[in-house]
Amino acid sequence: MNFSEYTLVSFGDSFTFGQNTVPEPFSMAMPGMDYDVDLEQKYISDCRSNSYTQFLAESLEFKDSLNFGFKGASNDRSMMNLESFLRSNPKKKVFVLFNFTHTYRYVQFFKRDDKNEYDSLDMAPGWDGWKTDHNHDYTGINSKTVAQNWTFFRNNIQDVYNHVKQRRAVYYILSSYDVPYITFDGINDMDSRILSDNLLQYISNENIDGCYSSLLYNDDENYVFKEMDFLKAYYQELVDKSPLLNHLLKDYSDGNYYNLNGKIPKFDINHYIGKIGIDRYDDKNHYITDDRHWTTEGHIEVAKVLEEFINERYN
């Protein structure tokens, strides 16, 4: 594949963005302070210049690159950006990188109290930006109701469903636009959690596929419609290591939750890369910052892993 004809376009969260590869400007780090727009723009540019997207584009000699990673972004946000970009640039030759983040992040719309508008926020457990970043009041939204959301509505099994739904959605978006791509898990470990405990066993089989679905289940020459197939089919793909997506797989054989930011003992493509995930308190570790983001050196190592996978699939 001649990468020089393609623009490398990357989607993901703060790891894709390149957060912490350079110090954050004081005005950005302090909520409520006025931004210095020029300083902010330089910070964004410097972070992206130190990211795995940039190093990968240089190493494989892509025509150019675009980094659409955002701090705190959810998979919902990245999927919206992915579909919007591909739909709006139908003639542009692109190669897509998609970094799946934590499944528990999601896009939420809150109704503002001061006007008839809704704010769009990327929600995550323990994050209180919903009350500081926008400085707006939302009736019924407070620390207690947000905590109840994660306890009762966004539980582990709900996250399993959202994970499968997001994987399928990204697959069909990329397939419909017929672009070359790879996907991977920067910090998402849901696949390994599904495999380690077979989380599907905790889902009731009563009407899982919708009202009266049990009356429609069938498996003969007429048609096939099996119980819980949406989730079970995905589980079987994990067992068989046969994902629909062009996805960088991991080895879960020892029961650990591996991703590109995990503690990994080996250095080959099947285990990712140990240097990226060793203890952050180890003085010899030059790949992880204090808040667990990758340093510039860490991004270089990530780019090497992704490059090997891309060459495996496209050369």
Query: Each residue of 38-47: pLDDT tens digit?
Result: 888 999 999 9
Give 177 or 278, the one with higher predicted confidence.
177
- What is the pLDDT confidence band of residue 32, given thresholds at 50, 70 and 90? low
Domain boundary among 88, 119, 153: 153
Query: Each residue of 111-163: pLDDT tens digit?
Result: 999 999 999 999 998 888 888 777 789 999 999 999 999 999 999 899 999 99
Query: Each residue of 240-279: pLDDT tens digit?
Result: 989 999 998 776 555 554 455 443 333 333 334 444 444 4
**pLDDT on residue 284:** 53
- What is the pLDDT confidence band of residue 27, given thresholds at 50, 70 and 90? low
What mean pLDDT value characterizes the chain?
85
d(CA 168, CA 179): 16
Query: Each residue of 196-221: pLDDT tens digit?
Result: 888 888 888 776 677 777 888 899 99
Task: Say if residue 113 is in the same domain as residue 100.
Answer: no
> Does the structure show a pLDDT above 60 at 236?
yes
pTM metric for this prediction:
0.88
Give 32 or 121, the one with higher predicted confidence.
121
Per-residue burial over 242-259, b if 16 or more Cβ lie within 10 Å, else e, is: ebebbbbbbbbeeebbbb
**pLDDT on residue 231:** 92
Taking CA atoms, 102 is separated from 75, 115, 185, 186, 189, in Å, by 8, 32, 9, 9, 8
Q: Which two tokens stand for residue 239?
A: 């067992």
Q: How many domains does the chain have?
A: 2
**pLDDT on residue 261:** 44
Task: Say if residue 41 is in the same domain as residue 161.
Answer: yes
**pLDDT on residue 255:** 52
At which residue do the structure tokens 């210095």 appear? 36
Closest CA to 66 of 44, 90, 35: 44
CATH number where 185 lies: 3.40.50.1110
Range of the domain at 136: 108-153
Task: Say if residue 178 is in the same domain as residue 275.
Answer: yes
Task: Say if residue 100 is in the same domain as residue 113.
Answer: no
Domain boundary among 153, 181, 210: 153
Task: Say if residue 48 is in the same domain as residue 75.
Answer: yes
Task: Say if residue 123 is in the same domain as residue 221.
Answer: no
Task: Say if residue 21 is in the same domain as residue 140.
Answer: no
Which residues, including other chains, have CB under 8 Å from residue 12's CB and lie 6 or more apart?
68, 69, 73, 78, 97, 98, 99, 100, 101, 186
> Does the structure show a pLDDT above 60 at 283?
no
**pLDDT on residue 29:** 52
User: Phi and psi of 277, rounded to 5°?
Assistant: -120, 15
